[in-house]
């Protein structure tokens, strides 16, 4: 066979064979003849087709033997002419320097030199390898090839991003699919279409991948292609095609030399792919009249598996004895136990060192379960998992070797079983335990937002999912992030629905199997190591994962630079997903990616000048900012700053828009100290630009991050003083001149002027004061301002100088009127508390721990006392803050401070004096801080308590009482303090729990102040009493007899607490009755609801109390409770008549005034009448079942007669009459079933107004009765049927259980425990019964 030659992307294979070779059915020549036929359908070599193909195409009459067919008559092929090789010069085929190999194809990467027009003009030149490590060399230029039939020009792949339109200079906004390269395998596609047209091969139905690509058709043909997309074999003779029907499943073994073909009518054939011969015909390997749905080889060369449309799975054991090939099948899973839709064996031939390689494991996917079975060394079920999902979806299952992190530094490689149905995917690790048993460990479960159609692993971290809308989705398993999606709807995906419905075998499949198989595509979407092959009805598609650098190159070619750069940086920091081809050590990979990323950045920077030609200025400005920011960001992240200050700056310097965008894009990186060493010219431009746009806050923040050597000091200082950029001023003085005093003196001058003006400080002045406080705090702590540290050799000098400035008697440029210690005084006036906090922190520094430092601390304390206490002009709060600060310093163990006790007495007098009543909270807070900071040792307890009581400092009093354990007095402090009186209950709870030994004292206090506590919160008061003094509730209630209001509030709280605690509080009858009596007086509307919730009262007494207060609803309830139904009904009847009388009076009044009667129907009285009416009906319905007929009539008929009379009285008033008529209907409907119909009719007929009435006037009454009667009859029949049905069902279940056999579970009687079987007697009989 000649070497393959390539022309216009289609691989052509020529064969030179003799007539003898054809007649003797030489395997290789015959196979190539078949392949040549499909390739050269448009050439003059059509007269060399095989006999079946020739007859189907009507092209020749002399048959040629196809591989595997039995030899025929030699004379039939003797006149066949020898094939003539293709003339290279005729077809302009260039000569080949060497024959292409698999390795050369794999190493043939994207052809960048091809123009876009060339890419569109010709078909794919090479077909990638489909075995492991194959399908990797498809040229990038074929990304634009149509994914449908050859003649289509509009239906382009959604994953393709190339176009024939002119390229824009602006980066595309839509991110392309960079992970997958989607191409049409045009050579295979054209051969399949040619076979369909020329030899009536039918449409593609199934496909398998291995060392070859085999595609089966609906007319029984199998076309095998090699890695160059050239036809290797055309398999399937007439007899087998007719007996087998369409090809339903295919599989190639791991060695690539055997092909199993399954047909829709149940036939299975095996071919030798080295010569194309049929070597096994297996017609009866599985159940008869069932289609072959799934075929799979295992790692064992003599073992394969077959699944049929009956849901059963069979193992096929291939044997060869004395040159004779045979196949022995065995059913390993019956469809009667659950129909298997698909299965996948675990293939470990490439990882033979894995401990699981000694087993043959297969995962079955049934309609309801996932089952993993061990076939070798013995048949055993290892794992099951129930699937509960949509019945219209099929289960999916696949295996993948995955690296799994077991511990911090240990990883293992184990197979992972993944299975899915509908929208749920589960992952289980398969491993061996310590006993060498196979274990399945759950890893995770993922739920997606779509229904799944197909699932395959692309690599150990990436899943390819196809949903029911034929969208391919790439999912990162660890992060559960969807990385990419490709629309496959234009591929016209091949479905195996007819095979799952068993159409070729008479439709003998279950309904559930047929329903789920509507979208079966197990054999049309396949995957092999980083590639997905999709079989369409008219085309074959390959979706290949790009290598990491191919993804970057592809994005760059599509002008998606930002996406490419972002992906490159994710690769650099090892956060990218779906990465392929990046190998080596961590450092080497980072170096490779960094070089590639810098190259892309340089190309992106080269595009900046192109933005100058954009028409829209606003768009151009935004584009400048986006492009430059991106470049600067990633150059800074990669620590490669030279292009930022050279190449990018040169591009942007001449254009004001680009220069502005460039300078502003530097800001975030300056603030992060990523661009600290900038050239002076750029720094100067930066300062000038921010001055022009008046963005001074951002400029100030950036200046303190500049290298001081890059700043123009004169320009910057002038701008800073003008705009008040104090941080920048301090930074330049400190870092540029090494001067820490001058900026403090200069800034203090401004703050002194602001304070001395005695007006409210502006926001900028407050900011200045705060910055100065932070600055002196940093200096005294040895830190640089605003960040960093002062040089170690300067720390002590800076601390000393700053301390001297603070305590200076006068400023440098003092006047005669200047007060002493101006700096210290200014700080105290600005913010006393914060300044003293700064001093407190500085006192912790080592400089103040020496003898000299301690004297310095004493000196500053003396100065503070002199300035704030002796010379005055400070508020009480400020003085309190000072003494708090002093007390804190004196309370320290190593303190050597001395302060006169007389000063503390003066402070106490000052704080507790009543001169500033409006600021009592501030004065009390200051005294609290002073005492808590250690001030107790400076005061006498009784004296301070007396003064605090007088000043109403109850919080301080509480603190003092607590120190002496006088807790009862604290209760009074809470009660006297208006702001905190509600907190007394929390305090009572706490002391009752923490100090139970003093319970009697606290009890006495509670009783003394009970009324005050009730007034504050009666519910909380009752809660305290219930929790801690429950036995005193009657006594406490009695003590409040003279204060009925307080007594009622307290009892209300008690019963509320009882309700919240689910009636755990025991309340005696007298207390309950007392509460109800008080409720009748204070809240009568609550009596009736309360009576229904409680039982601890005497009905007679409560009836008298309620009668005294005329609470009818409560009296009715009590009478009904005593079964005095007539009395209760009469009360309601009297109330109803009273309201009815008022209604009559209102109607007559309106009639005299000739006003509308609608006001009566919307009045409060009418609403009350309606409410009473409904209550009476409910009362009668509730009590009628337990009364005799004559007593029932007494509950219903008086009300009916009253309504009839009211209706008749106002019969001429339509609106009034209609309202009473509605009430009448409601009453009639309610009393049906309680009062006999003749009695009701008699009432109506005895009424004078109805004695002379016509049928039309009483028609509604009669009709309503008949409807009610009919309804009741229907309900009775319905209940009867339901009862009979239940009895029948129970009887059926009982009969079924009786008819079943009973097996004895043991040989002992459950009652007497004696042996029930005598093993010595062979004729013994045993009767087992339930």
Instruction: Please write the tens of the pLDDT for every residue from 223-271.
Output: 999 888 899 989 988 888 888 899 999 999 988 899 999 999 999 999 9
Of the segments 468-472, 604-608, 785-789, 1313-1317, which one has the largest average pLDDT value?
468-472
Higher per-residue confidence, 1066 vs 118:
1066
Q: Which pLDDT belongs to residue 385?
A: 93
315 DSSP β-pair partners: 305, 330
**8 Å CB contact between 285 and 315:** no
Task: In whole angstroms, give the CA distance from residue 1255 to residue 1250.
Answer: 10
Contacts of 44-49 with CB under 8 Å at 24 or more apart are 45/83, 45/84, 47/81, 48/80, 48/83, 49/199
Higher per-residue confidence, 1314 vs 1187:
1187
Instruction: Assess whether pLDDT exceeds 70 at residue 613.
Output: no
Task: In whole angstroms, give the CA distance from residue 130 to residue 212.
Answer: 7
Q: Work out the pLDDT band at 1248, boundaries 50, 70, 90.
A: low
Q: Which pLDDT belongs to residue 1243?
A: 74
Q: Work out the pLDDT band at 136, boundaries 50, 70, 90.
A: very low
* Percentage above 70 pLDDT, the chain: 79
Pick from 156-160, 398-402, 1023-1027, 1112-1116: least confident: 156-160
Q: What is the mean pLDDT of residues 622-638?
A: 88
467 DSSP β-pair partners: 452
Instruction: Please write the tens of the pLDDT for every residue from 731-756.
Output: 999 988 889 999 999 999 889 888 88
Higher per-residue confidence, 43 vs 745:
745
Cβ-based burial of 931 (10 A; exposed 0-12, middle 13-18, buried ≥19): buried
Pick from 17-31, 327-341, 520-534, 560-574: least confident: 17-31
Q: Work out the pLDDT band at 150, boundaries 50, 70, 90.
A: very low
Q: Which pLDDT belongs to residue 1256?
A: 56
Q: Which pLDDT belongs to residue 584?
A: 87
Pick from 10-14, 418-422, 1064-1068, 1086-1090: least confident: 10-14
Instruction: Please write the tens of the pLDDT for every residue from 830-842.
Output: 998 899 888 888 8
Q: Which pLDDT belongs to residue 140?
A: 38
Q: Which pLDDT belongs to residue 382?
A: 92
Higher per-residue confidence, 1268 vs 543:
543
Q: Map residue 425 onto helix, strand or coil.
A: strand
Nearest one of 104, 138, 123 to 545, comparing CA atoms: 138
Nearest one of 488, 491, 513, 370 to 440, comparing CA atoms: 370
Instruction: Assess whether pLDDT exceeds 80 at residue 508.
Output: yes
Higher per-residue confidence, 134 vs 88:
88
Instruction: Assess whether pLDDT exceeds 80 at residue 905.
Output: no
Q: What is the mean pLDDT of residues 639-663?
A: 88
**Would residue 696 be called left, alpha or beta, if left means φ above 0 and alpha means ψ between -120 and 50 degrees?**
alpha
DSSP letter at 536? B
Instruction: Assess whether pLDDT exceeds 60 at residue 407.
Output: yes
Cα separations in angstroms, 1068 against 752, 1032, 1049, 1073: 76, 12, 18, 9
Pick from 168-177, 261-270, 677-686, 1152-1161: least confident: 168-177
Q: Work out the pLDDT band at 591, boundaries 50, 70, 90.
A: very high
Q: Work out the pLDDT band at 916, boundaries 50, 70, 90.
A: low
Instruction: Please write the tens of the pLDDT for every residue from 919-955.
Output: 677 777 777 777 776 767 667 777 878 888 888 888 8
Task: In whole angstroms, give the CA distance from residue 829 to residue 277.
Answer: 106
Q: Map residue 361 onto helix, strand or coil.
A: strand
Q: Which pLDDT belongs to residue 159?
A: 35
Altogether, the residues listed in the chain come to a count of: 1330
> Which tokens belong to 441?
């460990």
**8 Å CB contact between 296 and 313:** no
Cβ-based burial of 248 (10 A; exposed 0-12, middle 13-18, buried ≥19): buried
Q: Work out the pLDDT band at 1070, boundaries 50, 70, 90.
A: confident
Task: In whole angstroms, give the CA distance from residue 487 to residue 536.
Answer: 13
Q: Quote the pTM value.
A: 0.60
Please give the order of strands across the beta sheet that includes 462-467.
Answer: 452-459, 462-467, 471-476, 481-487
Q: What is the mean pLDDT of residues 52-78?
A: 35
Exposure class string for 2-39: b at 16+ Cβ within 10 A, else e: eeebbeebbbbbbbebeeebbbebbbbbbbbbbbbbbb
Task: In whole angstroms, give the CA distance from residue 1175 to residue 1169.
Answer: 10
Q: Which pLDDT belongs to residue 869?
A: 79
Q: Which pLDDT belongs to residue 55?
A: 34
**Would residue 758 be called left, alpha or beta, if left means φ above 0 and alpha means ψ between -120 and 50 degrees?**
left
Instruction: Assess whether pLDDT exceeds 60 at residue 62.
Output: no
Q: Map residue 223 onto helix, strand or coil.
A: strand
Instruction: Assess whether pLDDT exceeds 70 at residue 124.
Output: no
Task: In whole angstroms, give the CA distance from residue 482 to residue 115.
Answer: 33
Cα separations in angstroms, 778 against 472, 747, 816, 832: 60, 16, 32, 18
| Cis? peptide before 786, omega within 30° of 0 | yes
Instruction: Assess whether pLDDT exceeds 70 at residue 794.
Output: yes
Instruction: Please write the tens of the pLDDT for every residue from 432-469.
Output: 888 888 999 999 999 999 999 999 999 888 999 999 99
Q: Work out the pLDDT band at 151, boundaries 50, 70, 90.
A: very low
The position carrying tokens 């005084």 is 825
790 DSSP β-pair partners: none
Q: Work out the pLDDT band at 1249, boundaries 50, 70, 90.
A: low
> Which tokens belong to 229?
């997309």
**8 Å CB contact between 1169 and 1143:** yes
Higher per-residue confidence, 1305 vs 309:
309
Q: Which pLDDT belongs to residue 1120?
A: 86
Instruction: Please write the tens of the pLDDT for every residue from 1189-1205.
Output: 888 888 888 888 888 88
Q: What is the mean pLDDT of residues 422-438?
A: 90
CA 877 to chain centre: 53
Q: Which pLDDT belongs to residue 142?
A: 35
Mean pLDDT of the chain, nearest integer: 79
**8 Å CB contact between 368 and 452:** no
Q: Work out the pLDDT band at 286, boundaries 50, 70, 90.
A: confident
Q: Which pLDDT belongs to residue 71?
A: 39
Pick from 296-305, 547-556, 1231-1240: least confident: 1231-1240
Q: Which pLDDT belongs to residue 315?
A: 93
Of the segments 115-119, 425-429, 755-759, 1155-1159, which one has the largest average pLDDT value?
425-429
Q: Which pLDDT belongs to residue 39?
A: 30
**Phi, then psi, of 336 in degrees rounded to 5:** -70, -20
Q: Work out the pLDDT band at 911, boundaries 50, 70, 90.
A: confident
* Percentage above 90 pLDDT, the chain: 23
Instruction: Please write the tens of the pLDDT for every residue from 797-814.
Output: 998 888 888 888 888 877
Residues whose CB falls within 8 Å of the CB of residue 169, separated by 6 or more in sequence, listed in order: 607, 610, 611, 613
Helices (H), 757-899: 763-781, 792-806, 822-830, 832-842, 851-865, 876-890
Q: Which pLDDT belongs to residue 615?
A: 58
Task: In whole angstroms, give the CA distance from residue 148 to residue 128.
Answer: 19
Pick from 299-303, 775-779, 1043-1047, 1216-1220: least confident: 1216-1220
Task: In whole angstroms, give the CA distance from residue 472 to residue 96.
Answer: 39
Instruction: Assess whether pLDDT exceeds 80 at residue 169.
Output: no
**8 Å CB contact between 317 and 330:** yes
DSSP line for 656-685: HHHHHHHHHHTHHHHHTTSS-S--HHHHHH
Residue 845: count of CB within 10 angstroms of its CB: 15
Q: Which pLDDT belongs to residue 26?
A: 29
Q: Which pLDDT belongs to residue 1056?
A: 85
Q: Work out the pLDDT band at 58, boundaries 50, 70, 90.
A: very low
Count Cα atoms within 13 angstroms, Cβ side, for 720.
25
**8 Å CB contact between 458 and 472:** no
* Kind plus residue range of the DSSP H or E element containing 1270: helix 1255-1299
Biggest CA-to-CA distance, the chain: 140
Higher per-residue confidence, 120 vs 1309:
1309
Q: What is the mean pLDDT of residues 342-348?
A: 92
């Amino acid at each position: 066979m000649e070497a393959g030659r390539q022309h216009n992307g289609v691989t052509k294979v020529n064969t030179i064979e003799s007539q003898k070779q054809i007649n003797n059915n030489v395997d290789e020549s015959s196979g190539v003849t078949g392949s040549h036929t499909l390739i050269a359908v448009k050439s003059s070599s059509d007269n060399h087709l095989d006999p079946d193909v020739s007859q189907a195409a009507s092209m020749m009459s002399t048959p040629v033997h196809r591989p595997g067919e039995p030899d025929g008559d030699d004379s039939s092929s003797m006149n066949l002419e020898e094939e003539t090789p293709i003339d290279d010069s005729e077809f302009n085929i260039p000569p080949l320097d060497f024959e292409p190999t698999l390795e050369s194809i794999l190493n043939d990467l994207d052809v960048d030199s091809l123009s876009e027009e060339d890419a569109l003009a010709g078909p794919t030149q090479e077909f990638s390898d489909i075995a492991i490590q194959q399908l990797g060399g498809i040229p990038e230029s074929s990304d634009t090839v149509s994914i449908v039939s050859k003649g289509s020009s509009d239906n382009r792949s959604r994953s393709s991003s190339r176009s024939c339109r002119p390229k824009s200079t602006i980066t595309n906004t839509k991110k392309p699919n960079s992970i997958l390269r989607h191409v049409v395998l045009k050579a295979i596609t054209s051969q399949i279409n040619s076979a369909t047209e020329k030899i009536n091969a039918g449409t593609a139905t199934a496909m398998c991948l291995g060392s070859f690509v085999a595609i089966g058709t609906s007319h029984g043909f199998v076309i095998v292609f090699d890695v160059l997309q050239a036809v290797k074999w055309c398999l399937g003779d007439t007899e087998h095609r007719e007996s087998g029907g369409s090809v339903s499943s295919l599989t190639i073994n791991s060695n690539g030399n055997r092909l199993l073909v399954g047909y829709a009518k149940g036939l299975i054939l095996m071919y030798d792919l080295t010569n194309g011969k049929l070597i096994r015909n297996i017609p009866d390997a599985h159940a008869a009249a069932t289609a072959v749905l799934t075929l799979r080889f295992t790692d064992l060369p003599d073992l394969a598996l077959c699944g049929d449309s009956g849901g059963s799975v069979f193992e096929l054991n291939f044997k060869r004895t004395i040159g004779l090939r045979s196949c022995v099948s065995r059913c390993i899973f019956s469809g009667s136990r659950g129909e298997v839709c698909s299965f996948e064996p675990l293939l470990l031939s490439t990882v033979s060192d894995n401990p699981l390689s000694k087993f043959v494991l297969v995962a079955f996917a049934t309609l309801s379960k996932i089952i993993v079975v061990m076939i070798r060394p013995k048949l055993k079920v290892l794992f099951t998992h129930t699937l509960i999902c949509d019945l219209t979806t099929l289960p999916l299952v696949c295996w993948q070797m995955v690296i799994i992190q077991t511990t911090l530094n240990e990883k293992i490689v184990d197979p992972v079983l993944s299975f899915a149905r509908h929208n749920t995917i589960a992952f289980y690790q398969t491993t061996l335990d310590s006993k060498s048993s196979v274990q399945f460990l759950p890893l995770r479960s993922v739920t997606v937002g779509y229904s799944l159609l197909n699932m395959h692993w692309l690599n150990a971290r990436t899943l390819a999912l196809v949903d029911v809308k034929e969208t391919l989705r790439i999912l990162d398993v660890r992060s559960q992030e969807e990385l990419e999606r490709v629309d496959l709807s234009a591929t016209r995906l091949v479905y195996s629905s007819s095979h799952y419905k068993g159409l070729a075998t008479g439709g003998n499949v279950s309904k559930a199997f047929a329903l789920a198989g509507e979208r079966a595509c197990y054999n049309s979407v396949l995957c092999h190591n980083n590639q997905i092959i999709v079989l369409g009805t008219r085309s074959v598609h390959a979706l290949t994962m790009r290598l990491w650098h191919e993804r970057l190159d592809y994005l760059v070619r599509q002008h998606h630079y930002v996406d490419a750069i972002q992906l490159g940086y994710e690769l650099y920091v090892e956060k990218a997903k779906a990465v392929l081809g990046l190998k080596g050590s961590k450092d080497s990979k980072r170096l490779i990616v960094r070089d590639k990323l810098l190259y892309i950045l340089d190309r992106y920077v080269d595009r900046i000048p192109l933005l100058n030609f954009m028409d829209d200025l606003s768009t151009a400005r935004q584009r400048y900012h986006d492009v430059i920011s991106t470049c600067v960001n990633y150059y800074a992240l990669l620590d490669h700053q030279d292009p930022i200050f050279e190449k990018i700056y040169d591009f942007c310097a001449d254009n004001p828009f680009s220069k502005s965008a460039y300078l502003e894009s530097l800001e975030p990186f300056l603030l992060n100290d990523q661009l600290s060493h900038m050239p002076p010219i750029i720094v100067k431009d930066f300062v000038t630009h921010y001055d022009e746009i008046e963005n001074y806050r951002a400029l100030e923040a950036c200046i303190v991050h500049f290298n001081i050597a890059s700043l123009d000091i004169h320009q910057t200082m002038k701008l800073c003083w003008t705009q008040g950029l104090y941080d920048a001023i301090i930074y330049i003085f400190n870092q540029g001149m090494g001067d820490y005093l001058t900026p403090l003196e200069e800034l203090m001058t401004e703050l002194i002027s602001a304070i001395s003006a005695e007006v409210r400080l502006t926001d900028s002045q407050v900011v200045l004061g705060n910055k100065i406080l932070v600055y002196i705090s940093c200096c005294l702590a040895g830190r640089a301002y605003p960040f960093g540290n002062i040089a170690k050799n300067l720390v002590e000098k800076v601390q000393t100088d700053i301390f001297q400035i603070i305590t200076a008697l006068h400023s440098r440029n003092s006047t005669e009127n200047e007060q002493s210690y101006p700096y210290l005084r200014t700080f105290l006036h600005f913010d006393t508390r914060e300044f003293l906090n700064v001093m407190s922190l500085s006192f912790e520094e080592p400089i103040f721990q020496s003898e000299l430092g301690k004297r310095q601390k004493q000196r500053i304390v003396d100065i503070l006392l002199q300035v704030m206490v002796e010379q005055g002009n400070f508020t009480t709060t400020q003085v309190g803050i000072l003494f708090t600060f002093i007390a804190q310093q004196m309370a320290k163990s190593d303190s050597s401070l001395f302060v006169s006790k007389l000063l503390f007495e003066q402070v106490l007098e000052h704080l507790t004096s009543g001169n500033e009543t409006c600021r009592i909270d501030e004065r009390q807070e200051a005294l609290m801080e002073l005492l808590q900071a250690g001030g107790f040792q400076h005061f006498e307890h009784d004296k301070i308590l007396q003064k605090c009581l007088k000043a109403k400092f109850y919080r301080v009093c509480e603190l003092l009482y607590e120190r002496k354990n006088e807790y009862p007095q604290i209760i009074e402090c809470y009660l006297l303090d208006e702001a905190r009186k509600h907190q007394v209950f929390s305090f009572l709870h706490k002391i009752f729990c923490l100090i139970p030994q003093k319970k009697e004292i606290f009890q006495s206090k509670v009783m003394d102040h009970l009324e005050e506590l009730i007034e504050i919160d009666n519910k909380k008061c009752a809660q305290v009493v219930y929790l801690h003094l429950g036995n005193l509730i009657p006594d406490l209630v009695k003590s409040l007899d003279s204060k009925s209001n307080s007594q009622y509030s307290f009892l209300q709280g008690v019963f509320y607490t009882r309700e919240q605690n689910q009636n755990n509080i025991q309340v005696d009858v007298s207390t309950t009755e007392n509460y109800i009596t008080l409720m009748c007086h204070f809240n009568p509307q609550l009596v009736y609801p309360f009576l229904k919730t409680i039982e601890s009262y005497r009905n007679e007494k409560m009836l008298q109390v309620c009668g005294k207060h005329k609470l009818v609803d409560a009296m009715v309830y009590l009478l009904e409770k005593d079964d005095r139904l007539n009395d209760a009904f009469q009360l309601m009847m009297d109330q109803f008549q009273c309201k009815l009388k008022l209604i009559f009076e209102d109607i007559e009044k309106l009639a005299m005034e000739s006003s509308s009667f609608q006001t009566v129907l919307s009045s409060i009285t009418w609403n009350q009448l309606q409410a009473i009416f409904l209550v009476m009906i409910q009362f009668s319905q509730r009590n009628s079942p337990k009364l005799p007929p004559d007593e029932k009539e007494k509950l219903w008929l008086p009300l009916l007669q009253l309504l009839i009379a009211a209706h008749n009285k106002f019969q001429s008033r339509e609106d009034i009459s209609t309202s009473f008529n509605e009430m009448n209907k409601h009453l009639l409907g309610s009393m049906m079933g309680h009062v006999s119909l003749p009695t009701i009719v008699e009432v109506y007929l005895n009424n004078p107004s109805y004695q002379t009435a016509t049928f039309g006037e009483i028609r509604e009454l009669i009709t309503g009765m008949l409807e009610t009667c009919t309804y009741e009859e229907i309900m009775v029949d319905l209940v009867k049927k339901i009862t009979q049905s239940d009895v029948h069902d129970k009887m059926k279940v009982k009969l079924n259980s009786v008819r079943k056999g009973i097996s004895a579970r043991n040989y002992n009687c459950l009652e007497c425990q004696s042996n029930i079987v005598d093993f010595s007697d062979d004729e013994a009989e045993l009767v087992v019964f339930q």
